[in-house]
Amino acid sequence: MKRVFSGVQPTGNIHIGNYLGAIRQFVELEKENDCLYCIVNMHSITVPQDPKALKEHTSDVAALYLATGINPKKSIVFVQSDVPQHTELSWILECNSYTGELSRMTQFKVKNKGRESAPTGLFTYPILMAADILLYDTDIVPVGNDQKQHIELTRDLAIRINNKYGETFVVPEGRFLKSGARIMALDDPTSKMSKSAENIHSRISLLDDAAKIKKSIMRATTDSEARIAFDIEKKPGLSNLINIYSAFTGKTVDEIVDDFDGKGYGDFKKELVAVTQDAISPIQEKYNEIRNSEELSVILKDGAERAGAIAEKTMKRVKETFGLCVHTHI
């Protein structure tokens, strides 16, 4: 059985792009793999956070993980900061990495654009990401294509240390999520749907109410042609909406185009509103049951203990490798 690790930051609500592009596939992965799903709250503090809001968002994301169908008895669901070995390993990896390889990270360049200086954590967070993965002897990391560089860095670090000190880490592989599930912003179909975009109608969050979902979809950017057809180049806005419809219903693009032959954009958008609400409603019901329950705390505590046991085993091996175990183990 392969081991899978994936993490999501607790910054705002999870949107349908996160769900369709990643989290829904996590439920499938746990059927045949040993999975760890982590709320990576320490990554969030690379930029200023309101402590109270961060704590709330961490619980929100944990509850949403469970509401989308992840089984905490089969998978390990936990919060990163509850397992201190993440930062312990991160320092060891940092001492075996180079500023040159970190400065080449595209995401750092994007996030640091226009700044004279950046928080050190923003520069080094790919090392913490590598620690998250290597700490659990991970075989598979399900990620989007935008994380490809970070997976390559993780692999490079593991191979570098293994070659220099002997077999210490499992070298993970990225499983890059299906490109068909790439959901774009509703107001700008050339950009990915984002939790941090200023326009709240650019996305649909899993916790949005029916009125917000309707408003966001009805306002979504299309074109002036008013003909239902799939063409990413010429009709990116409509094509994005068709992709969403397809992802929620399981219908092919051709089937959807045929179903709406002769109908206008208004008819299609109204139907997409209903499809989206039907898909999200059961998740919201489950979320409301879990979010403020004692069950959530119990699950996260249990997850941290199970993750911690694996992490401690790895760190014992790593410390031996680097000569950091001075005292005899009990």
CB 155 within 8 A of CB 130: no
User: How is residue 286 written in tokens?
Assistant: 């489950």
The verdict on whether 192 is a catalytic residue reads: yes
CB 273 within 8 A of CB 213: yes
Catalytic residue among 111, 212, 263, 319: 111
The verdict on whether 313 is a catalytic residue reads: no
CB 244 within 8 A of CB 280: no
CB 107 within 8 A of CB 124: no
Which of 217, 195, 226 shows the shortest CA–CA distance to 13? 195
Round to whole Å and give the CA distance between 193 and 17: 6
DSSP 15: B
The verdict on whether 55 is a catalytic residue reads: no
User: How is residue 96 written in tokens?
Assistant: 């075996």
> How many CB atoms sit inside 10 A of residue 51's CB?
8
DSSP 73: T
Catalytic residue among 52, 109, 164, 192: 192
Contact residues for 205 (Cβ-Cβ < 8 A; gap 6+): 12, 13, 14, 15, 16, 195
User: How is residue 2 written in tokens?
Assistant: 């392969």
Query: Pairing mode, if any, of strands 34-39 and 173-176?
Result: unpaired
Beta strands in the chain (DSSP E): 3-8, 34-39, 76-79, 140-143, 173-176
**Is 195 exposed, middle or buried, given 0-12, 13-18 or 19+ CB atoms closer than 10 A?**
middle
Catalytic residue among 195, 212, 286, 313: 195
**Cα-Cα-Cα-Cα dihedral of 321, 326, 327, 330, to 10°?**
0
Q: Cα Rg for the chain, rounded, in angstroms?
A: 21
List, by residue number, the catalytic residues. Answer: 111, 192, 195
